Structures are given as C-alpha cells and as structure tokens.
Structure 1
C-alpha cells in the first residue's frame, strides 16, 4: 500500500512534523486486508529520490479554531532508511520538507522487521500494527546473550519458555549433538512437559535435605584447589596454604605410617583441640583411638588400662601400647580424602607454630560443604550431563542457599572451559545456552561475600567472552536493578515487560541501547504478555504481544486461582 496520506511540513534533525491530508479512521481496508492507520509507535515512510526513509509516529494532534478542526498533524522521529532491500538504522539521510508521507506496504514491513521466514519463528504480534506478526531468526536470537525482565505476572516466564519451546521444536528436526540448553531452575518450574516433553530432557531434581535420587555426573578433577579455597572461604595467608598442601598430599599417596607419625606427635605434644577434632572428623578412618582421653590436671593425654593403671602420653610405653595399635584406613572417595589430608595438613602447620584456632574452623566448613556436594554430585560417574538430549534442567528449589549458587557456578565453569578447549583445537562447532530464571537470586551485586563474588565472576566471564566460544547466557528476572551491571550491559537482546519500580526503570534506561524516552514511558503500562524487544535480533525496538504457550508446555509459574472450576477453594 503506497497511498499518500500527508506531507512533511517541518524537519528539525531527527524530529519531523507531517500534516495529514485528512483524518483517517483507526483501520483501513485495502485489497480485502485490514491495515492500521498511522498511530503512536506505528511506522510511515517518505521518499528522498529513490531512497525510502522510515519514520515512527511518536505523537499526533489537531489544530482547532472556534471549535472547528482545521488540520491534523503527526510528530515523527527518523529511525532509518531502506537501501537495496535492507533496512539500515541510522541518519545517512533525512526527509525533505513538502515530500509526501505514505503507509508501509507488506514488502516494507518485511524489510523493516527482517521477516525472512527461513529459520525463523513467530514470537508474537506487533502491538500497534494489526495483522503483523514479529518473527525472530534463530541465527540472530539463539547465539546471543538474552535478558528478559518484568514484574511478577508480566509474562516473562512465558517469553523465556516461548523462545526455548520454539528452539527445542526446531532442534528436534535434526540429528545433532552440537546444540545444548542447560536450565538452572531455581523454583522447580520446568519439570514435566514444560518447554518440551519430559522424555526429551535430562531432569535433575536436587535436594540437600537428603541424598538426591538422581545426582549430577561430575569429574572431581574439574574442581581445582583454588576453587576449594573459594568455596571454603579460606583465608589467604593461613587457611588457603594449608588447604593447598592437603591437595598436594593427595597426589603423593603416603602410606599409613606417615599419618600414624603425625598422630603420635599430636598426642606427645598434647594438642588437645587438634586431636579431638581429628577424632571427630575422621572417626570412620581411624580405629583404636576412642579410648584416648584428656587429663586436664596435668594437660596430658592418657588411656585407662584398668585395675587402676593409667598410661600417659609422655610415657615410653604409650607408643607401643597405644599409638602402634591405631589402625588407619585411607579413604578412597575424593572429598573424604581431602578432609582426611586436611586434618593432617593442619597438624603439620601447627608444628610450625600456627595456632590451631585459626585452622580448625576450616574443618567444620569443609565437612558441611563436602556433605552437601555429595548429596547433589556423583563424582564417580563419567556419564554425560545431557544424557544425549538437547536440554538438561537442574532444579534447585530444594537445595540450600550455598548450593543454589555453587552448583551453577561449578557447572558453568566446566562448560566454559570445555568450549574454550575445543576452540583451542580448532573452530567452535557447538553451542550451549545457559538459562537462569529468577536470576536476581544468583547474579545480584555483592561486594562482601568471597563465595558469591566468585560465582558472579563465572557468569560475568561467560557474558563477556562466551560468544567467542559458543557459550551464551539467557536470564530472566523481576528485578533488573539487582543484577550485576556487567551482566546487564553485555546482553545482546532485551525483552522488557512491565516494570514499575523506579530503580528498575532507571537501570533499563541506563543499560538498554536504542530505547528512546518514548518507548521507555510505555514500560509502566504494558499488559501481561506485552513487552518491548530491543537488541541485535531486530532492526529497531518493537512492541510485541508474545504468543502464549499451551498449558502443558508452560512453566509451573501461573497465579493461584482461588474460586471456580480450577480453584483451590471448594464449597
């Protein structure tokens, strides 16, 4: 449709004013099709020679005199131009005063919206253009970092699931292992048939309350000694060297005499707290030490041999009768072995004059951490995390706060390193999308916690460098202002649903490129399912009503219904 509807009457930089020939109804019929007349946020075009300039309507008004409408005007903003069948955002040319203004035809819309249906999927309908669907190309949206933001109930989970559902549907047409999606599901919303059929996903429902029924296969060697220093919050000058020494001792494979000698020194030097800590943490691996007690009057260990005979650790007989009878079983499980070596590494440091009070708290933290890790990871399995499927979902709602951060961090580090190693051997020929819903629970700003800052650093590395290695981040959150600035600023595509919090709106204004004040003003009034898409996947920001998924493929994040057929309250 190329019918002229008005003419340009004023050009002030990118701000343009046009006068309509007549006031148009909201919708027009052309060739049996319903099309939109110019209105807020819709597009119009004008010609400069053979070139076509695309403008967006940002306002409209009348001039009246004595209650009579004289003229109708549109306020426009230049968005770009069409050259050789492609839309280019920019200001190489501006409209000319007195040139005619026209509606876009179907070809124009296809060019502006980049609606090449090859390897594309419809994400939703344009809010301001009737009968116009918005398509996203897989090659533009999937290999990109994506942020989906909006208040609770605004539809962000449906948008995230819509992208994943279409991607999984497309992948199912191919026999390939070069594309994977990993979802860290903090609220256990992506089980059953959400996104794809349950049989087509590797699902890990983790818990730290008991042993998880299905644990994540993980190579223990993928956790470095530096990782453990961070996970255990080890102090740099005292605890970290002790922990690293325990790692080195694991590789030396000392026999039992080495450990028995250290137990002997502990007893003869009367290291009470150290001995009882070792007995508490290593009771399953050290036998014949339960009878050893502490005689506080003389600050010495002793064993009650019966018949009134006490054998003290400062007596020569103590070595043969007590120490040489201690049975030591060196554990084979890697985490147990670290704890085992850590006890003796602490004993060694205490010999060198370090106060055990500085080191013993490390044992308590290690026992707690290792217990949680055993509940969720299988360090003896070499199976594939994805089980030869396209998508794996790790559910974390029943894990404690530490594991909620540690599990995504450890797995992300391994994925990134594996992809980096592949790139080192040649071209990257695989892609992994890491998805975090409710991302503010993990990627929040914090300058105090060493553990959290390490976790955040893992994802910041992905969002800064992952594109080169085929690793991409996809996050959804109701609080963009809580998300790390580094993560927010490095995203390629933003789906922004309704936001009302001033801090969130300020963060979006500061971070998201290509969004002008006119578009940002709509964020507080968007209805559920409506969003603004800005980024590299489209030529310019677009207002979209995202298609709603079928009930069975939605994540389990719907609002609770009180009354009615599906209500939780019955008569």
Structure 2
C-alpha cells in the first residue's frame, strides 16, 4: 500500500510539473516551461485541467517548503543550442518562460501571505491540485463565522466565503461605473450579514447600520419594501426639501447648538458673519430670555424701543415694522406668535405720527419720551406667545433675528456685511426644519431595528451634502464618547459617496469643503477605536479624497472606464497586483475584484444572485418593453 501511495505521488508530480526556476530577482522570478507542457490543457486524475496561463497560480517546491506564485506574464525565445539541433518539431525550438510574482506559502495545508524564503534556481514548479487551489482561495478559517458572496469568475465551482470579523470590522469600499453592479454588490454584502444575524437579540441590541441613500435605491414608500432586508427590520426616513409632510430625521439639540453647523448652513464669512452668528447663538441675554414668554416680550420691546429712540438717521424709515415682519415670517412656520399680525398693524398705525414727529424734532440720543414707551410696552404686552410651538430651530432663528436688528441699530455691524447672511436665513431654516426634528438623545440611538435607511432622493443638492454630514457627525461623536469599551457596533454606509466626499467641488467654499472632508477623514482614521466603521460606494473614486480611499481595508472593484478613476485606484489601493489592476476596465457586469484584509490574495469573483424582492431599486429600463 505504501508503494502505491508513492507511485500515486510520483504520477501526480510528473503530470503537474510544468518547469523549473531559471532566474530569481527578489519576489519576481522566471520559470522555464518544459517543452512537453505547452498544451492549453492537461489530463489529470481523469479530468481535463487548465494548463498554466496568465493570472493563475503555481507552486514551487524548495525541499519541504511549498512557495506559491502568481503568473503575471509570459514570453518565448528561440532555443539556440547548436549542439542539439535535431528537433522532431519546430515547436520544440521554442522556449517558453513565465514571469511569476511570489505571493505566499502553504504551511500545514494553510495558505500564508508573505514570504519567509525565496526559491533557488532549478527548483521545480507545479500546477496546483484541487486541494491546494481551494486552500489558496479559502479566506476564512473553518471555525470562523462566514458569509458567501459569490464564486470565482473563471472557476464557478469555487465559492468565495469571507469571515464576518475580517470584513465588517473594517472600512469597505465598493467602486464601479454605472451599470457595473456596485449597488447590487453593496446590497448583497449587507443582505447576507443581516439575514445571518437578524434573529439574534445581541445583534439587534448592539449593531447599527445607517445607509445614506442619495438616489432612492434602497427604500421605497410601500409595504412591500424588502430591499436588502424586510421592512420590519429597518427604519426608513424619506426626507424632502420640497414637501413639508415627509419624514424628519431626529437629531439632538446639541447638534444644532453648534457654531460650525450654522456657519456652514448659512455660508458665513470668517471675519464678520461668523462672529455675528456666535453672538446670536451664545449671548447669555438672548439664550436665557428666549426660554420664557416674559423674556421674549422684553427682548422685542427693547429692540423696538432702541430702533425708535436710538436708531440713526441711516436706518430705514420703517425699520421697526421690518422687524415685526421678520417675526411674522417666523410665525408662518411655527405659530409661536398667533396674533403677531394684529400687533404689527397696531404698531404701524398707532406710532407712525409719533415716530415722524420725533425725527423732525431731532430728539437727542438716549432721550425716551415716557408716553411713547408706555404705549409701545402696552402693544408688545398684547403679543400672545405660544411656547409649546417653539422648538430649538425656532428659538435659534428668533435669537438671530433679534440680534441682527439690535447690532444694526446700534451700529456694531454694517448692513452690507451681515445682510447677505441674514437674507439667507429664511430659506435655509425652511429647508432644515423640513428634514430634521429635534428630539431626545436616547430616542435616536436606542432603536431595535438594526438598519436605518435615509432616503435623500427628494432633497436638493445643497442639503444632500449637509444632511449626511450632520447625521454621521452626530453618531460618530456619540460613539466616541459612549462606546469606549466597543460593546456596540456602527457601520455608516454611504452610497454614491462622491456626493459628500468630493474634493473638487466648485459650488462651495473652501471652509465647508475642508470641514466635511476632515469630518469623514477622522471617522475613517479613528473610528475603529470606538466601534465605528465606514462603507462607501461610488462610481467616481477620482473625486474622493485619497486619504479616505487609502484608509479602506476591503475593496470590491467593479468595471472602471475613466482613466482618472483607474489611476486613483492604482494610486491608493495597495492590495492589487498588476493582473488585477489591468483587468479593471474589462470586467463583466456583476464581476468584481475582491482585495483587502479579508482576502489573502486579490481575486476576480462573480457576485451571487439576490432574491428579486431584496434587489436595489435601480435596474436599467428596458426601452423595447416600454415602446412595444
């Protein structure tokens, strides 16, 4: 029996042996192919197997060590051996060589990436048998939790299974042109994960996934929404800047009491407008007085009396009416001042003559006619204030309005300097209050549904940049403060990530661009410490910050056509070999290159099919079906 085993090994080695090493230059070696092994296929163990080809793997035997290399090219040369020129065939005059890059070794039937030694000249080179081939493409240990995403593109009987820990405790990038299958791959990754663990109580308690959906591909407004996972397991927010009856994403008050947030939203300049915003948000008198009904009336009375008795001649004649008009606009969205229109009319008709007489009589600075002030206070006291309608957004807008009229009246700021910011106030508040709702901090984090989908399909371009930033920044900061033991897990998934991570936008200020990029760069560089990970998907990797792409740990690369996108991948992704990189532009639909920490070697794979009900809502329209 022992002799039979030895004979089997001898036959196996003689069939699978293809040549020997002829040159060694570091990890790059040259293999000379035996002249009887130039056929495209071999017969081994009753099967037809592929002979050596570019992109396949070979084994080099050095004593008891088995070194694995990948074939990256081949060439031929003519045999000029003059002593032996009696060839039986012209083909035997050709010498075939393989350019092989060493990638690892096999140790106790386990593939190890990296090198511990180099081969020697004349070491034999072999094709891989089935066991060795499967060993190289087994990216997870037997005892690991795994998910199956697909199979090798050219070896359909070889499944690709990835370890859950290696894949999801990392930052993930999915890149590819439109129609290449990147959205499908993104859905497949999280479909497999959520369906594997969705019944586990600890998973529901400790894991959170937030999917920023720019184009409405991962959630639809009906009861049959099972994209990625069934509706019962996800919270959906359909946001809109054009409609007021849509969902509002809950954020805590701490997020909107932030100078940077309002500076970016209102496009405040650094020198004058930002200091004005700072005083509007944090001046103690404003903050405290806007909390109570009497405090708000005192602020309104003081502002009106200052305008009418201390304002310079350069002020608009009806500047006090303009102030009440602004309060009226605020009332339109919140109903905090139910009778503001009546108060405005009383003030306009009752004080017009008095105001004109004071100007004509050149009333001295600081002089306050008691009769007028008594009448003014009476009118302001008649104002009805419903504090139940005053949320945090209304409070901040009220603070900005009062502060604006106060500083302009007193001459602290020029109208030309802060007027442009103030003019943007109404439209920006209308947008922000349509998409966000201030809520208790516990409500936003404690959610039994593991997946949150934020649909931005009906949100304007500017708010599409701000909303993801606010959401991601809040969740990251929360985990940064409260998840130091890393018991909880957060994965922020950004589809069409170039919308928020672009480095080349010309429609925004440098301050805003720097702020959003720095925020996401911090998440991707530091988030792992706090259990926060980022998954980005994009058709334009060139537009995304190199810092972000280079910090990703696992890549799913679909077809890329644009040279700049391919260059961006080549510049920032260190896991790719030359063969994989060169194939980026010719990958078929659904095919992708898997590279990164979860795969020992880059492989070209085909993503498995998703059930129809779980597919993303992005299939290309079939025109002929619509036209017939």
The question of whether the paired residues in 2 share the 8 Å contact of 1:151 and 1:498 is answered with yes
Is it true that 1:50 corresponds to 2:64 in the alignment?
yes
| Alignment partners' CA distance in 2, 1:20 and 1:546 | 37
Q: 2:82 is matched with which residue? A: none
- The structure where strand makes up a greater share of residues is 1
Q: 1:363 is matched with which residue? A: 422
Q: 1:204 is matched with which residue? A: 237
- Greater shift, 27-36 or 253-262, is seen at 27-36
The question of whether the paired residues in 1 share the 8 Å contact of 2:555 and 2:595 is answered with yes
Q: 1:419 is matched with which residue? A: 479
What does 1:57-96 correspond to in 2, within 5 Å? Answer: 57-61=71-75, 68-70=90-92, 71-96=95-120
The question of whether the paired residues in 1 share the 8 Å contact of 2:229 and 2:614 is answered with yes
Is it true that 1:126 corresponds to 2:152 in the alignment?
yes
Following superposition, the deviation at residue 399 of structure 1 comes to 0.5
Following superposition, the deviation at residue 396 of structure 1 comes to 0.2
| Alignment partners' CA distance in 2, 1:274 and 1:82 | 83
Distance 1:39 1:554, change over 3 A: same
Corresponding residue to 1:116 among 124, 133, 141: 141
What does 1:382-393 correspond to in 2, within 5 Å? Answer: 383-384=443-444, 387-393=447-453
1:47-95 Cα distance to aligned partner (Å, 9 max, x none): 1122110011223455678972115443322112223444333333222
- Greater shift, 501-510 or 242-251, is seen at 242-251
TM-score by length of 1: 0.90
Larger radius of gyration: 2
SS at match of 1:417: helix
Is it true that 1:38 corresponds to 2:52 in the alignment?
yes
Distance 1:25 1:160, change over 3 A: farther
1:331-374 Cα distance to aligned partner (Å, 9 max, x none): 52211111111122223333153213322333332322221121
Corresponding residue to 1:253 among 274, 289, 293: 289
Distance 1:130 1:102, change over 3 A: farther
| Alignment partners' CA distance in 1, 2:48 and 2:476 | 49
Is it true that 1:465 corresponds to 2:519 in the alignment?
no
The question of whether the paired residues in 2 share the 8 Å contact of 1:122 and 1:136 is answered with yes
- Structure 2 unmatched runs, 5+: 1-11, 80-86, 220-224, 332-336
Is it true that 1:222 corresponds to 2:258 in the alignment?
no
Q: 1:278 is matched with which residue? A: 323
The question of whether the paired residues in 2 share the 8 Å contact of 1:80 and 1:87 is answered with yes
- Greater shift, 392-401 or 4-13, is seen at 4-13
The question of whether the paired residues in 2 share the 8 Å contact of 1:149 and 1:477 is answered with yes
Distance 1:348 1:303, change over 3 A: closer
Q: 2:603 is matched with which residue? A: 542
Q: 1:303 is matched with which residue? A: 352
Q: 1:288 is matched with which residue? A: 343
Is it true that 1:372 corresponds to 2:431 in the alignment?
yes
SS at match of 2:426: helix
The question of whether the paired residues in 2 share the 8 Å contact of 1:146 and 1:475 is answered with yes
Q: 1:179 is matched with which residue? A: 207
- Greater shift, 143-152 or 323-332, is seen at 323-332
Following superposition, the deviation at residue 434 of structure 1 comes to 0.7
| Alignment partners' CA distance in 2, 1:323 and 1:310 | 19
Is it true that 1:325 corresponds to 2:361 in the alignment?
no
SS at match of 2:621: coil
Corresponding residue to 2:162 among 133, 136, 139: 136
| Alignment partners' CA distance in 2, 1:258 and 1:217 | 30
What does 1:336-355 correspond to in 2, within 5 Å? Answer: 336-350=394-408, 351-355=410-414
1:515-548 Cα distance to aligned partner (Å, 9 max, x none): 2333221111111111212211111211112223
SS at match of 2:424: helix
Following superposition, the deviation at residue 25 of structure 1 comes to 5.8
The question of whether the paired residues in 2 share the 8 Å contact of 1:151 and 1:499 is answered with yes
Following superposition, the deviation at residue 190 of structure 1 comes to 0.4
| Alignment partners' CA distance in 2, 1:444 and 1:373 | 22
The question of whether the paired residues in 2 share the 8 Å contact of 1:44 and 1:56 is answered with yes
Is it true that 1:264 corresponds to 2:305 in the alignment?
yes
| Alignment partners' CA distance in 1, 2:417 and 2:547 | 36
The question of whether the paired residues in 1 share the 8 Å contact of 2:24 and 2:121 is answered with no
1:489-521 Cα distance to aligned partner (Å, 9 max, x none): 111111111112111111111111032333221
What does 1:129-168 correspond to in 2, within 5 Å? Answer: 129=155, 131-168=157-194
Corresponding residue to 1:5 among 4, 17, 22: 17
The question of whether the paired residues in 2 share the 8 Å contact of 1:8 and 1:95 is answered with no
Q: 1:297 is matched with which residue? A: none
| Alignment partners' CA distance in 2, 1:108 and 1:91 | 17
SS at match of 1:109: helix
Q: 2:467 is matched with which residue? A: 407
Distance 1:218 1:33, change over 3 A: farther
The question of whether the paired residues in 2 share the 8 Å contact of 1:218 and 1:380 is answered with yes
Q: 1:193 is matched with which residue? A: 226
| Alignment partners' CA distance in 2, 1:458 and 1:431 | 19
What does 1:473-492 correspond to in 2, within 5 Å? Answer: 473-492=534-553
- The structure where helix makes up a greater share of residues is 2
- Structure 1 unmatched runs, 5+: 295-300
| Alignment partners' CA distance in 2, 1:84 and 1:250 | 72
TM-score by length of 2: 0.82
Following superposition, the deviation at residue 220 of structure 1 comes to 1.8
Corresponding residue to 1:504 among 547, 557, 565: 565
Following superposition, the deviation at residue 162 of structure 1 comes to 1.1
The question of whether the paired residues in 2 share the 8 Å contact of 1:188 and 1:396 is answered with yes
Q: What is the RMSD of the two structures over their aligned residues, measured on CA atoms?
A: 2.8
Point out 4+ residue stretches in structure 1 off by more than 4 angstroms: 24-35, 61-67, 291-294, 309-315
| Alignment partners' CA distance in 1, 2:603 and 2:321 | 67
Following superposition, the deviation at residue 16 of structure 1 comes to 2.2
The question of whether the paired residues in 1 share the 8 Å contact of 2:252 and 2:439 is answered with yes
